[in-house]
């Protein structure tokens, strides 16, 4: 198939495919007429890349998965290199979750402090009028 058909079937653009080619993730084969040609294996590799990117993987992180498919494995994540990327990504996600949890706790504490201060002010007479609609 030609680049336009591959892009359409994969739900992406020809520009993206050329970029993947320049990064060495999508091989450039040429037909007798000079046009790029692709096969079903290229479509599988492209779908693997797109799925991983939808999950938040960087383009370079998809390389072991593509190489695994190119080596003839039925799935891109059935090779040691792919599993290592999964482990590393899970570690990154766990660290981010930890950071977000810490920020959430700080914001929650600030909210609690602000509500207590507002309640204390309410017992002292009329509360100040908020001009921002709160």
pTM for the model: 0.78
Distance between first and last Cα of the chain: 60
The predicted pLDDT at position 133 comes to: 58
Q: What is the mean pLDDT of the chain?
A: 92
Q: What is the pLDDT of residues 98-124, one digit of tens each?
A: 999 999 999 999 999 999 888 888 777
Residues of the chain where predicted confidence (pLDDT) is lower than 50: none
In 3D space, the residue among 46, 60, 48 whose CA is nearest the CA of residue 12 turns out to be 46
């Amino acid at each position: 198939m030609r680049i336009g058909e591959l892009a359409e079937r994969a739900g992406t653009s020809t520009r993206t495919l050329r970029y993947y080619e320049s990064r060495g993730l999508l091989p450039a084969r040429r037909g007798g007429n000079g046009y790029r040609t692709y096969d079903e294996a290229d479509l599988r590799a492209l779908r693997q890349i797109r799925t991983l990117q939808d999950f938040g993987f960087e383009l370079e992180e998809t390389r072991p998965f593509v190489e695994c498919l190119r080596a003839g494995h039925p799935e891109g994540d059935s090779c040691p290199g792919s599993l290592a990327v999964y482990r590393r990504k899970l570690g990154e996600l766990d660290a981010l979750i930890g950071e977000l949890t810490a920020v959430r706790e700080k914001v929650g504490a600030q909210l609690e402090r602000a509500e207590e201060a507002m309640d204390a002010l309410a017992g002292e007479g009329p509360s100040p009028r908020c001009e921002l609609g709160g």
